[in-house]
Amino acid sequence: MEKEASQVTKIHPRTFEVHGLQFILQRQRCLDLLQKSRCNSTFVHAFLLLKEVKYVVAMFSLVVLFLCAIANVLSGPAISLNQCKSGDDACTTAAAKAAYPLVLEANEEIGAEDLDPMYLSVIEGNLSILKFKLFNTTIVGFKSCSVDSAKYNEEESSAQVVILCPKFTMHGSYDIDGRLIVLPVKGNGDYSLESLDYKLKVDMELRTITKDGKSYRTVKTYKVEAEAQSGVSYDFRNLFNGQKDLADAVLKFANENWKEVANEVQDPVFMTSLKRIIKNANKYLKTLPIDEYMA
């Protein structure tokens, strides 16, 4: 018994790795020895207490390291861009191509939303001869778009990006009154539309903000030029309160003259949807100092 006890007393706590499994095995071993009266109970309890203290300290250290890692992530950029010189359109285009899909994704840490599908409660068009509202609209297709070209001008604090979108679908409800180019139109109900091959040119005015001694660029204002290139199909139900002959005439005209109709009504749609995308982009840009993407 004395030989076994002396063997136990030679065990130094530093020979054990501080993590859960080894601690449990060592603890159980000493409990077994204690139960069989093979080692001094005072020593065993002291040994177990030391192991428990070291285990708690180790776990606390891991928690602190984990929290520090989270803080480091949150304080760092939520997006990264290649460094480009002002006027280097090839570099700027490559950076915009990489950044565009990320801007559409949700990021809870900075409050960015997932923007495809995009839900818009109201889109309002107040044109000279036509007034319309689209309610509870869902737009699908922005994630299928890609950046075709991008420009950045440091001196003018401006940027431009051209985006190509192979397909958009929209659906919701509508209220419309006025003239659709040459035809009178009036009604309310459900609607849906599908478009192919849209080209969007977005011009942006930028501003500089300073935070914690670092400078950041965000989008101050923007405008959108949209061009439907391959076709748009329109379906507005319950036009003219269900009068089929009048409704069919308007829908036939709209679908046969899809480009002219798109040019007439598309601006409120894209200004409203791009507002959401710009809002997301600014949240990402506020985490990325200018000197990290401007050479």
Task: Select from 52, 75, 98 the last residue of a domain.
Answer: 75
Evaluate whether residue 80 is within a structural domain.
no
Evaluate whether residue 82 is within a structural domain.
no
Q: What is the pLDDT of residues 263-274, one digit of tens each?
A: 999 999 999 999
Q: What is the pLDDT of residues 163-203, one digit of tens each?
A: 999 999 999 999 999 999 999 999 999 999 999 999 999 99
What b/e sequence results for 18-48 when a residue is b if at least 16 CB atoms lie within 10 Å of its CB, and e otherwise? Answer: beeeebeebbeebeebbeeeebeeebbeebb
Specify the amino acid at residue 264.
E
Q: What is the pLDDT of residues 21-39, one digit of tens each?
A: 454 455 555 455 445 444 4
Same domain, yes or no: 250 and 105: yes
Q: How far is CA 213 from the centre of its chain?
A: 26
Same domain, yes or no: 54 and 116: no
Same domain, yes or no: 122 and 184: yes
Same domain, yes or no: 24 and 143: no
Same domain, yes or no: 116 and 18: no
Residue 196, helix vs strand vs coil? strand
Q: How far is CA 163 from the centre of its chain?
A: 18
> What φ, ψ does residue 16 adopt, rounded to 5°?
-100, 140
Most confident region among 27-31, 71-75, 119-123, 152-156 by mean pLDDT = 119-123
Output the domain CATH number for residue 107: 3.15.10.30
Q: What is the pLDDT of residues 108-117, one digit of tens each?
A: 999 999 999 9
Same domain, yes or no: 31 and 95: no
Same domain, yes or no: 179 and 242: yes
Residues facing 231 on adjacent strands = 196
Evaluate whether residue 83 is within a structural domain.
no
> Rounded to an integer, what distance in angstroms lies between the CA atom of residue 115 and that of residue 118?
5
Task: Select from 75, 107, 140 the last residue of a domain.
Answer: 75
Same domain, yes or no: 208 and 104: yes
- Residue ranges making up the domain that contains 243: 89-292
User: Total structural domains in the chain?
Assistant: 2
Quote the tokens at residue 36: 């069989």
